[in-house]
Amino acid sequence: MSDEHKIDPLRGLTIEAILSALRAIVDRYEAEKLFSGALLVSRGGLELLAEARGLSHRGFSVPNTLDTRFDTASLGKLLTATATFRLADRCFLGLDESVLDITGLKGTKIPADVTLRHCLSHTSGIADDADEEAGEEYEAIWKTKPCYMVREVRDLLPQFAYKEPLFPAGAKSRYNNCAYVLVGLALEKRTGLPFRKIVETEVIGPAGMAGAGYFPKDGVEPLVAEGYATVEGAEGGAAGFRKNIYAYPPIGSPDAGAFVTVRNLASLFAAIESESFLSATSRAEFLRPVIDAFTLESGDLRRYGYALEHDFDPSGMPIRYGKDGVNPGVAAIAMRYPTADGFVVILANQDTNVWSMCRDLARAAGFVSP
Angle formed at CA 24 by CA 352 and CA 43, multiple of 5 degrees: 85
pLDDT of residue 235: 74
Please give the sequence-ordered ranges of beta strands (E in DSSP) within the chain, or none if there are none.
7-8, 13-14, 37-43, 46-53, 55-57, 62-63, 70-71, 228-232, 238-243, 259-260, 291-295, 301-304, 309-312, 318-327, 330-337, 342-348
Residue 230 domain-assigned?
A: yes
Which pLDDT does position 369 carry in this prediction? Answer: 85
CATH code of 173's domain: 3.40.710.10
Mean pLDDT of the chain: 94
Domain limits for position 138: 3-365
* pLDDT score, position 157: 96
Domain membership of residue 298 (yes or no) is yes
Q: Coil, strand, or helix at residue 147?
A: helix
**Residues 310 and 327 sit within 8 Å (Cβ to Cβ):** no
Residue 370 belongs to a domain: no
Instruction: Please indicate, yes or no, if residue 268 is contained in any of the structural domains.
Output: yes
Task: Give the pLDDT confidence score for residue 2 in this predicted structure.
Answer: 45
CA atoms within 13 Å, Cβ hemisphere of 68: 28
pLDDT of residue 239: 84
pLDDT on residue 136 = 84
Q: How many domains does the chain have?
A: 1
CB of 242 within 8 A of CB of 139? no
Q: What contacts 79, CB < 8 A, 6 or more positions away?
A: 199, 203, 204, 258, 268
Residues in the chain where the model's pLDDT stays below 50: 1-2, 5, 7
User: Could you please report the per-residue DSSP string of 231-296?
Assistant: EE-TTSSEEEEEE-TTSS-SS-BTTB--EE-HHHHHHHHHHHHSSSSS-HHHHHHHTS--EEEEE-
Within a domain: 317: yes
